[in-house]
Amino acid sequence: MMQKLPYHYKLYLSFSLIVTLILFASGTFFFQYNNRLLQNNLQSNSLDSLNLIQSRIEDMLVNVDKDLVTLHASKAFTDIVFHIPETPYNYFLQHPTITSDVDGILLSVLATTKANRSIHYISRYYDYLGTQINQQSLNSKPMTKDEIRDIPTVREALTTKKYKLYFPPHPDYWSSDAHLTLTVSRPIRDTYHTYGVLEYNIEAEELDELLKLPNSDDTYQLLLLDDSGKLLYHNIPDTPDNQIKELYKGETFEQPIGYYYADKNSLMAYSHSELTGWTILIKRDIHTYTMQVNSMAKTIILSYIAAFIILLLFLFIITRNLTQPLRTLRNNLYHLELNQDIHLDIQSSNNEIVVLTSGIEEILNKMRLQNIHIMEIRERAVKAHFDAMEAQLNPHFLYNTLSVIGAYGLEQGNTTVPKMCTELANLLRYSINFNHRTVRLKDEFDNIKSYLYIMKMRHEHMLDYSWDLDPTLDDINVPKLILQPIIENCFQHGFQNVPPVWKIHIRSYRRENRWLAAVSNNGQPFNQEKINQLYNRFDQFKKAFLEGREVESNLEQQGFGLENTILRLSIYYRGLEYFHIQTEDNLTTIEIGGFIDDESN
C-alpha cells in the first residue's frame, strides 16, 4: 500500500510515526523522571526533617541532663541531700528551712526554662520535694512514701547502675491532672551510696513544638517505639491504638534510618536514637504530593497532545515544501558546471532524494579528482623547494677558505697548500653537484673530512677532531649537505669566545630502526632560549606543511645553516626526522637522524 503513495505522503507518514514514538517515549520518560525526582525530594526532605526533629529532641534531653549534672555537682545541694535521715514522714515537710534552701537551688536551674517544666527530688527514703517556676501550675498531689515507692520512674532510677535515664511521655505521677510528661532522671550518688534521684519533667506538648520546622508549612506527627517495637507515645489525635499500630505493622527497622509508605497518603520516616534507645517515627501526609503528581500527569498529557498536533501540521508543510523543489533541483544538476561541463546521466526516478544524492555523489567524485591533482601539484612544489633550499646554502665559507689557503701558502711556502686545494676542490665539487637529491651517508662524512682538514690547517694545534663511525651505515641514503652546516656552526658560534684547544667528535650509530649522526664540541653551549626558538620554528614549519599552507614565506624567515638542515630532514622524512641538542660534561652535542628504509637502501 505504501508503494502506491506519492513520495510526499510516504515521507510524511514515516516522520509522523517517528514523531509519535519519540513523543510517547519522551513523555513517559519525562513523567517518570519528574515523578521520581519529586519522590526523591520528598523522601530526602522527610529524612532531613526527621534528622532535625531527632536532633531537637536529643538536644533538649541532653540540655536537661546537663542541668541535673549541675545540681549533682552543687555542694550546697549535696550537703543537704546526703544527710537526710530515715523518718516515717516526709523529711521536707518537717524542715521548712531546708525545704526552702533546696527549693531555691532547684529553682535556679529552672530560671531560664519554660514555666511548665518541673524538677523533683526523691530521697532514698522516699522523701519528696518538687518545684517549678509557676508554683500555681504545679498542682502537685499529696503522696505517701508507699505511693512514691510504687512510682515506676522512681523505683527504676533508685535501683539502676546507669548515670541517667530517659523515660518516654507518661502520666505525670506528681500532678493531680496526670498530663503526659517526658522525664529525665539522674541518681544522686557518691562512690558507695545512692542518696536519691532527681527527676526533670517536660510536658509532652513541647514535643509538638519541636515538630514545627522553620520555613516549612509541612505538618508532622510523632511516634515513639521501644527496642521491641512497643508503642511508647504518639501525638496523632482521634486515632485508636489499633490504627496507630497499622502504621508500623510488619516493619523491622533494621536500618539505623529509613523510610517507607504506610499507605498511599502517608510517608513514614524512622531513625534509631542512640541516646535514648527509642525508635523515632514521623508521619507525613503526602496527599498534596499525590495531587501534584496527578496534576503534572494531566499537564504533560495535554501538552504532548498539543505538541503532537502542531508537529503533524508542521511535518506536513515541511515534507510538501521539501519534495516540491527536488525535481527542479535534479534538472538543474544536468547543467551544473565545475571547471568543465558535468553531465549527470541519471535515469528517471520517482524518488527525488535518490536523484539528488546521485548528482551530489557525482560532483564529489569530480572534486576528489581535482583535489588529487592539487595535491600532486603541491608535492611537486615542495620537491622544488627541497632542491632550492640545497642551493641556498651560504657559500661564504668557500671564500673564507680560499682566503685562509692563500694566506697560509704565502706564510709557509710548503706542499700543504696543494693538499688544501685538493680538499677545497672536493668541497666545491660536492656542493655544486645537483645531479642527485640524495647521497650516501659515507659521502656526507667524506665531505666534512675535507672541510675539517682545511680548518685543521688553518687552526693547527688549536683544533682537534676525532671519528667514531659505523661502517654498516655507509650506504644509507640521506639528503645532501646535512652534516657540514652542523660543523660550520661549531666554528661560527660554538668556538667564539672559547679558548682553544677546540675539540670536535663525530660519530654514527644505529638505534633500533634509525640511523643517527652526532657532532659534539667543547664550545659555547646553546642558550636554552635559542633551543626553544629552534624547536618552535620547526614545529611551525611542520604545521604549515601538514596543513597544506604555502611554505615559501615560512622558509624565507628561517635563514640557512642548522635550521635549513633540520627543515630539509623534516621534508625528506615527512616529519619523522630525529633532532636533539644537549649539553653534558662541557660538551654540546647535536644529534640528527632518520628511519632506515631497507628498500631504498
pLDDT digits (tens, 9 = 90+) for 266-276: 899 999 999 99
Position 556 confidence tier, pLDDT thresholds 50, 70, 90: very low
Residue where the block lists cell 649522526: 517
- Does position 341 have pLDDT exceeding 60, yes or no? no
Please write down the HEC assignment for all residues of 298-324: HHHHHHHHHHHHHHHHHHHHHHHHHHH
- Does position 345 have pLDDT exceeding 60, yes or no? no
Cell of residue 576, nine digits: 619523522
**Which residues does 596 contact at the CB level (< 8 Å), separation at least 6?**
476, 510, 513, 514, 515
Is pTM beyond 0.95? Reply is no
Position 176 confidence tier, pLDDT thresholds 50, 70, 90: confident
Residues 34-56 as b or e (16 or more Cβ within 10 Å = b) = eeeeeeeebbebbbebbeebbeb
The DSSP code sequence of 116-157 is T-EEEEEETT--EEEEESSGGGT-B----HHHHHT-HHHHHH
Judged by DSSP in three states, 497 sits in: coil
Domains and CATH numbers, the chain: 74-206 (3.30.450.20), 336-391 (no CATH), 454-595 (3.30.565.10)
Contact between residue 271 and residue 55 where contact means Cβ atoms under 8 Å apart? no
Report the alpha-carbon distance of residue 370 to residue 372 in Å, rounded.
Answer: 5
- Does position 553 have pLDDT exceeding 60, yes or no? no
Judged by DSSP in three states, 463 sits in: strand
How big is the CA angle at 409 (ends 404 and 415), to the nearest 5 degrees? Answer: 120
**Beta bridge partners of residue 122, listed in sequence order:** 128, 197
- Strands 514-521 and 587-595, bridge-based pairing: antiparallel
Mean pLDDT of 363-380: 68
H/E stretch holding 519 reads strand 514-521
Cell of residue 86, nine digits: 530515715
8-state DSSP, 483: S
| Spacing of C-alpha 430 from chain mean position | 61
Count other C-beta atoms under 10 Å from residue 429's C-beta.
11
Report the alpha-carbon distance of residue 11 to residue 19 in Å, rounded.
Answer: 12
pLDDT in tens, 397-415: 554 565 566 566 667 666 6
**Which residues does 290 contact at the CB level (< 8 Å), separation at least 6?**
264, 265
8-state DSSP, 2: G
Helix axes 396-412, 441-459, angle to 10 degrees: 40
Contact between residue 186 and residue 162 where contact means Cβ atoms under 8 Å apart? no
Contact between residue 333 and residue 325 where contact means Cβ atoms under 8 Å apart? no
The DSSP code sequence of 222-242 is EEEE-TT--EEEE--TT--HH
- Does position 544 have pLDDT exceeding 90, yes or no? no
pLDDT averaged over every residue in the chain? 82
Report the alpha-carbon distance of residue 55 to residue 49 in Å, rounded.
Answer: 10
Position 152 scores a pLDDT of 94
Position 392 scores a pLDDT of 47
pLDDT in tens, 446-468: 999 999 998 998 888 999 999 99
- Does position 557 have pLDDT exceeding 50, yes or no? no
Report the alpha-carbon distance of residue 339 to residue 343 in Å, rounded.
Answer: 13
Position 562 scores a pLDDT of 79
8-state DSSP, 176: S
Mean pLDDT of 2-15: 74
Mean pLDDT of 284-296: 84
Position 111 confidence tier, pLDDT thresholds 50, 70, 90: confident
Judged by DSSP in three states, 259 sits in: strand
pLDDT in tens, 52-98: 999 999 999 999 999 999 999 999 999 999 999 999 999 999 999 99
Judged by DSSP in three states, 410 sits in: helix
Residues 154-167 as b or e (16 or more Cβ within 10 Å = b) = beebbeeeeebbbb
